[in-house]
Amino acid sequence: MHYRENAEMLQKSKLVLGDGTSLDDLIMRESNEVSLRVMTDEELYHLEMDKIFAKTWLLLGHESEIPEPGDFIVRDMAEDNVIVARSQDGEVNVSLNVCPHRGMRVCLGEAGNKRIHQCIYHGWAFRPNGDFIGAPVEREKMHGNDVDKKTLGLKKAKVHLYGGLIFATWNVDGPSFDEYLGDIKYYMDQLFCRTDNGLELLGPPQRFTLPCNWKVPGEQSGSDGFHTLTLHRSLMEGGVMGGTAESIYDQAPGMYGVDVSCKQGHSLRCLEAEKTFKMFADVPFEGKSTRERLELLTPPGITKEMIPELFRNLSEDQVNQLATIPPQVGGMFPNILIAFIFAPRTDGGSSGALALHTYVPKGPGKVEFVNYIFAEKDAPEQMKRDMLQNSVQQTGTSGTIEQDDADVWPVIMKNARGAVSKGITLKYQALHGHERPEGWVGEGLLYPGFTKDDTQWNWWLAYYDLMDAV
Amino acid sequence: MTWKTKSTAAPDSTTILRGLVSNKRVALGSQVYNRILETLYDEAAALDERRIDDWIAMIAEDIIYQAPIRLTRTGPNRDRDVMRTMFHFDEDYGSLLMRTGRLQKSAWAEDPPSRCRRFITNVRIAECETPGEYEVVSYLYLERSRGDSPENENTTAERRDVWREVDGGYKLARREIIVDQSVLGMSNFAVFL
């Protein structure tokens, strides 16, 4: 059963655009369709900035980027530029990179270490936690005659660290991070909270821009598994995934598994390695215990030496899942893609690739693709080196998988501009419906079998919920 | 000429952009200079004309082919803006073969292919310590036409190469591509630089 199957229960949205189009005309919950117009509409984009990007939790980086007090990076929460800095007390702070004096950017570099961030325009100065220190020529009170300095700090966002990942939100009184994650946390923990020392970002992220709306890659991050067979056909042709070039649709490697999702719009595709990748097809997993399975094939990014860490940090059920049907790809609403994949190499290795992307809106027709590449901190140097190469060769700027995505998205965007084309709907009507597989332990909305549209539709429902909220 | 890859995201691992390391310059207009310049033009033509096998034939099997990311820095670190811990390309011979092999099949990013022009200028050459190897620094200006878009994508970079004399010709043994954009304006690097 789909979690909102009963159409009679649906209340009409009060959100109506200037031309009378309502949210229900764009996101058609009764027929599971989305109007292509959502990709180009300027008014909708500005509403999204207020209702989604100024409200929900957003990923800004990893704390391994700013190990020392004073270390900072500059990132974007949609079109709001922020300073992410570690203060003297060791805390991670996120503050708006906009000087409250005249609106200039306070910090112009992308990364570095500073105890004081001083605006180059008139010299107002701030601490790494955003607190106002003062304006030059203190005796003249250039910060204001009767203004309390405490009110002049940079605007601060609420911060949450999850497995070292830095999340922030402007919605200070809004849902906690755990409420935001919901039932998917059980599965996400298997990726982000599984080792003693956690993940390490291998370098500052790759950044590049695409001429398309953020929702074009966004809806795909809702675990679109199906596109892999056709768009990423070269994975099968190159012998990475199972099957041969002739049998791609018959064998459909990587299509069968368990897709997990939740009403917050996050999702993950859990896949058995032996049914996905050619090189693991003959691994004798039959009748093996969790520990034996882990010894035969460690999850992406994990070494045999790190297996005891999994048992220390996760529940037995979580380790069992990681050993049998680990989460591989998915996303967090609104704009995060997760790829923690086995990534078999041409030289026979398979140390894995761990990458996260954010799709940062830069206007209705532009998105910045930010690609974060990770390894486990405890992994040996050579493995980190291999994993960096795997990720660079398969994801992001030049990645042979994602080059093809980057080629499709701008074309969809071009189409969405046509007077007739914009009335075309995106169809999410190949639905499985929630079904709990036998013996499955985790919670959430579960879709076993062939990957279908359910998780992506849940992504749109999460979108609807935030846009509809007053 | 080698460079070490450190695995850390902390900004203190940035390094400065530098051109030629060796001071044994190969004079502009000398025979070696002319022949290497000709090789760079031949390489650009092979890539622009999508004669990928011809390009691979110009590559040494121990190649390191990397494009580090570029950061925006300020203050005392303003010149330390090349981040050699993270790359847009991080390739060896095997992975270049994987990439070029893919182009013969379903690589939709280059099917239909881009129409590219690689302009190579500001070529400076010096002798490496190993006899027969030359440091070659060049500027790359790439114009790339995609589909029916009348606006080209483009990018600029400095390339720091090592070319090795092999059988009377030259093979590319190292290439470090230093892009100028911290945020690339090109939607992918499905083409070689």
Minimal C-alpha gap between A32 and chain B (Å): 29
Q: What is the percent of chain A where pLDDT is above 90?
A: 86
Residue A243 φ/ψ region, left for φ over 0, alpha for ψ in the -120 to 50 degree band, beta for the rest = left
- State which H helix or E strand residue A408 sits in: helix A402-415
Could you tell me if A407 lies within 8 Å of chain B, comparing CB atoms?
yes
pLDDT greater than 90 at residue A350: no
Which chain B residues contact residue A114 at CB under 8 A?
A: 75
Q: Are residues A437 and A258 in contact, defined by beta-carbon separation less than 8 angstroms?
A: yes
Please give the radius of gyration of chain A, using alpha carbons only, rounded to the nearest integer: 23
pLDDT score of A354 more than 90 = yes
Chain A CB contacts of B88 under 8 Å are 206, 392, 396-398
Chain B (105-124) residues lying within 8 Å, Cβ to Cβ, of chain A: 105-110
Nearest-Cα residue of chain B relative to residue A380:
B7
- Residue owning tokens 């709001």: A80
**A406 touching B (Cβ < 8 Å):** yes
Model-level pTM? 0.95
**pLDDT at res. B1:** 33
- The rounded distance, in Å, linking the Cα atoms of A271 and A283 is 15
Tell me the mean pLDDT in the region B19-47: 95
Mind listing the pLDDT tens digit for each residue in A49-79? 999 999 999 999 999 999 999 999 999 999 9
Cβ atoms of A255 and A225 closer than 8 Å: yes
A163 vs chain B: nearest CA distance in angstroms?
Answer: 16
Closest by CA to A405, choosing from A235, A237, A157, is A235
Closest CA in chain B for residue A73? B11
Classify the complex by whether its ipTM is higher than 0.85, answering yes or no. yes
Q: Which residues of A305-342 are buried (b: 16+ CB within 10 A; e: fewer)?
A: ebbebbeebbeeebbbbbbbbbbbbbbbbbbbbbbbbb
Cβ atoms of B177 and B159 within 8 Å: the answer is yes
Of B77, B86, B94, the CB nearest to A203: B86
Q: What is the mean predicted confidence (pLDDT) over A10-34?
A: 96
Residue B37: phi, psi to the nearest 5? -60, -45
Cβ neighbours of A115 in B, within 8 Å: none
Distances (CA, A) of A47 to A17, A358, A360, A416, A442: 10, 20, 15, 19, 35
Enumerate the residues of chain A whose CB falls inside 8 A of the CB of residue B94. 346-347
| A vs B: CB pairs below 8 A | 164
DSSP summary character for residue A1: -
CA–CA gap between residue A339 and residue A298 (Å, rounded): 16
Contact flag B147-A411 (C-beta cutoff 8 Å) = yes
DSSP A34: E
Count helices and strands (H / E) in chain A: 15, 22
Residues in A 194-223 with any Cβ partner in B closer than 8 A = 200-211
Best mutation target among A65, A246, A392 (most B Cβ atoms within 10 Å) is A392
Model pLDDT, residue B51: 97
pLDDT in tens, A117-127: 999 999 999 99
A327 bridge partner residues: A270
Residues 240..269 of A with a Cβ closer than 8 Å to B: which? 245
User: Does the pLDDT of residue B6 top 50, yes or no?
Assistant: no
From B152's Cα to the closest Cα of chain A, the distance in A is: 13
